[in-house]
Structure 1
Amino acid sequence: MPDSIRFIDKAALERTLGWTQAIDALEAALITGTGNTPPRTFVEVSGGQLILMPGEVGPQVGVKVVSVSPGNAARGLPRIQGVHIAFDGPTLRPVAVIDAESLTLRRTASLSALAVRRLATPDSNSLLVFGTGPQALSHALAINAIRPLGQVVVVGRRAEAVASLVGSLEAQGLRARPGVPDDVADVGLVACCTTATEPLFDSELLQPDATVVAVGSHEPAVREVDTNLVRRATVVVESRASALSQAGDIILAIADGVPETDAITADLHELATGRLDITPGAPRLFKSVGEAWCDVVTATAALQAASSADMR
């Protein structure tokens, strides 16, 4: 192995690590079931907060270090910044530093696309995305990589942001248009990529076998989907432990009376290994809060892709 520590920035990661590569790497890790995500550590500092997120998958080890600085908006800087440090498993020698923002975008959207690949009906090829930020764009691109989308409908709070995302999607070769929340009735796939604290849409409007992915919230008191969806759907989460402690969509539904056994049908390992029976004619929901093992897997795939690009 090289003695130097490699740095992979946003441009290098996006250039070398394709969506299907990241999705397949996550699926392979889920099938083996060797992921380990210790609790996150939150450290208060004078400028804000540091968050340390370690993870391990087989021989792969890494930690994502993220800073949260509320005062950065006034400075014209991002509120959240960070890096992921990849280590050689046996020796724990650092081998790479990877831009955390681009890594998080790639792993989050790739995990959602993997869930769509496993959960959605074969004819689901229209997507409505709530949100207009980088996660919304990444989700449309990742899902399109595993099943070509006939149309993407964009719903957001600001018309100019919606128009900007529609333009970005069209520049990537996708058909896209602005929409409203009730348009969930006309699509087979829904991606919730927002900072909403209350449900974004009425789940009764969904098509009978629609698939919803919700990734925007990871706090116990906020949610993007309503209780009725959790009650009716086949619900998949990364792990029961993280969902029951962080996923407000699940926690609040249980508080509303949905039995815990109904609020979570399966975890991703069960989904990836084919141990989940999906209820026909009922919606499917994948709720993600983000786990560090996904960062480790995606970082390893990014490092391998960058090394392969060097040899071309």
Structure 2
Amino acid sequence: MRVIDAAAIDAALDFDALVDALAEGFASDLVAPVRHHHGIARPDGEATLLLMPAWTKEGAGADGAVGVKMVTVFPGNGARGLPSVQGVYLVMDGETGTPRAVLDGARLTLWRTACASALAARHLARADAATMTMVGAGALAPFLIRAHGSQRPIARVLLWNRRPESARALAARLRDEGLPVEATEDLEEAVRASDLVSCATLSREPLVRGAWLRPGAHLDLVGAFNLSMREADDEALRRALVHVDTPAALSEGGDVAIALRDGAIGREAVRGDLFGLCRGTVPGRESPEAITLFKSVGAAIEDLVAAMAVMKRLPAA
């Protein structure tokens, strides 16, 4: 059984190809049961254990696989200098169930999460989207910036973080890598100037206000993974054409699930999910002036597709 670390995953994947692979995955018949979601009491805030299985259907042949991701989210890890999200991904042979590889689950999650948002933006963001605001400067932020840049002509990225020094440090590092990123301390001004706004935070209060969204903007909500978290207010949801990654987002995660629970929006406000967008049964962007919104809670299908993409690109052991 192979052990595939973060460096090997980075070497095997690229954003545009993984977005394409995810599009194929959501259009196919991969099986993904409801994930297990467990709270773990911690003195510095409740942690979470997620178990996410998925497998290819019968008939996949040599490409068949069974996978399960085991991930922990410990919000207090930032104070320890550790990522809040950690875990592993186990890939097993689809014909025999034999374990084939263990992958760095946190790294795989960063890739697949960013590329799922970019896949949604392929359908929902304006084709000429050039200015992006990135809300949050954690581990996912660089991946979201690169992934969205693979699908839209992003020429300017405004990076905001609750701790401005973190935004400045990340912006400087990304500029050194050739990305057009600048730190900002004025979130409202940044959002008002942006065609695409991506949020990846653990905020418990709304950060992005619907009143700030310009006509034609696309709002990508990636953080706020439980019902105590919010990244956008109810007005943002009411103004937007809302899409989700999977139906789980209707009851899990913040933002959409909370707005539905509290009656801020009705079920009819949610236009569809990635399955419908990728299969062509749900319309994407319908006009240049429409405001669109995508809420991601994560899907086991994404993990399996990303893991299989890594396995296919690695040299034979």
What's the counterpart of residue 52 of structure 1?
51
In the TM superposition, what is the alpha-carbon distance from 1:113 to its structure 2 partner?
A: 0.7
Q: Give distance in 2, aligned partners of 1:73 and 1:257.
A: 32
Residue type of the partner of 2:20? D
With over 3 angstroms needed to count, the CA separation of the structure-2 counterparts of 1:129 and 1:73, relative to structure 1, is closer
Q: Give distance in 1, aligned partners of 2:206 and 2:240.
A: 15
Q: Give distance in 2, aligned partners of 1:201 and 1:303.
A: 38
Which among 23, 38, 42 is matched to residue 42 of structure 1? 38
Residue type of the partner of 2:156? Q
SS in 2 for 1:26: helix
1:88-120 Cα shifts (integer Å, max 9, x gaps):
112111111100110000000010111111111
Q: Give distance in 2, aligned partners of 1:112 and 1:60.
A: 24
Matched, 1:207 2:207: no
1:14-54 Cα shifts (integer Å, max 9, x gaps):
11211122111110011124341333153869998754221
With over 3 angstroms needed to count, the CA separation of the structure-2 counterparts of 1:129 and 1:293, relative to structure 1, is same
The question of whether the paired residues in 1 share the 8 Å contact of 2:27 and 2:279 is answered with: yes
Q: Give distance in 2, aligned partners of 1:28 and 1:129.
A: 27
What's the counterpart of residue 274 of structure 1?
280
Q: Give distance in 2, aligned partners of 1:129 and 1:30.
A: 26
In the TM superposition, what is the alpha-carbon distance from 1:276 to its structure 2 partner?
A: 2.5
What's the counterpart of residue 220 of structure 1?
227
What's the counterpart of residue 253 of structure 2?
247
SS in 2 for 1:196: coil
Matched, 1:151 2:161: no
What's the counterpart of residue 27 of structure 1?
23
In the TM superposition, what is the alpha-carbon distance from 1:174 to its structure 2 partner?
A: 1.5
What's the counterpart of residue 114 of structure 2?
109
SS in 2 for 1:248: coil
In the TM superposition, what is the alpha-carbon distance from 1:72 to its structure 2 partner?
A: 6.6
What's the counterpart of residue 297 of structure 2?
289
The question of whether the paired residues in 2 share the 8 Å contact of 1:37 and 1:293 is answered with: no
Residue type of the partner of 1:170? R
Q: Give distance in 2, aligned partners of 1:13 and 1:258.
A: 39
With over 3 angstroms needed to count, the CA separation of the structure-2 counterparts of 1:34 and 1:225, relative to structure 1, is same
With over 3 angstroms needed to count, the CA separation of the structure-2 counterparts of 1:79 and 1:31, relative to structure 1, is closer
TM-score by length of 2: 0.88
Please provide the CA RMSD for this pair: 2.4
Which among 159, 162, 166 is matched to residue 167 of structure 2? 162
The question of whether the paired residues in 2 share the 8 Å contact of 1:57 and 1:293 is answered with: no
Residue type of the partner of 1:87? M
In the TM superposition, what is the alpha-carbon distance from 1:69 to its structure 2 partner?
A: 6.2
The question of whether the paired residues in 2 share the 8 Å contact of 1:215 and 1:289 is answered with: yes
Residue type of the partner of 1:223? R
Q: Give distance in 2, aligned partners of 1:131 and 1:8.
A: 28
The question of whether the paired residues in 2 share the 8 Å contact of 1:132 and 1:165 is answered with: yes
What's the counterpart of residue 60 of structure 2?
none
SS in 1 for 2:255: helix
In the TM superposition, what is the alpha-carbon distance from 1:6 to its structure 2 partner?
A: 1.4
SS in 1 for 2:51: strand
With over 3 angstroms needed to count, the CA separation of the structure-2 counterparts of 1:220 and 1:176, relative to structure 1, is same
Identity of aligned residues (%): 36
Equivalent positions of 1:1-150 (< 5 A) are: 5-40=1-36, 42=38, 50-58=49-57, 59-67=64-72, 78=83, 80-150=85-155
The question of whether the paired residues in 1 share the 8 Å contact of 2:25 and 2:301 is answered with: no
Instruction: Give the count of matched residue pairs.
Output: 303
Residue type of the partner of 2:147? A
Q: Give distance in 2, aligned partners of 1:178 and 1:160.
A: 9
TM-score by length of 1: 0.89
In the TM superposition, what is the alpha-carbon distance from 1:80 to its structure 2 partner?
A: 4.3
In structure 1, stretches of 5+ residues that fail to align are none
In the TM superposition, what is the alpha-carbon distance from 1:246 to its structure 2 partner?
A: 0.6
In structure 2, stretches of 5+ residues that fail to align are 58-63
Q: Give distance in 1, aligned partners of 2:83 and 2:11.
A: 22
SS in 1 for 2:251: helix
Q: Give distance in 2, aligned partners of 1:166 and 1:74.
A: 21
Name whichever of 253-262 and 108-117 sits farther off: 253-262
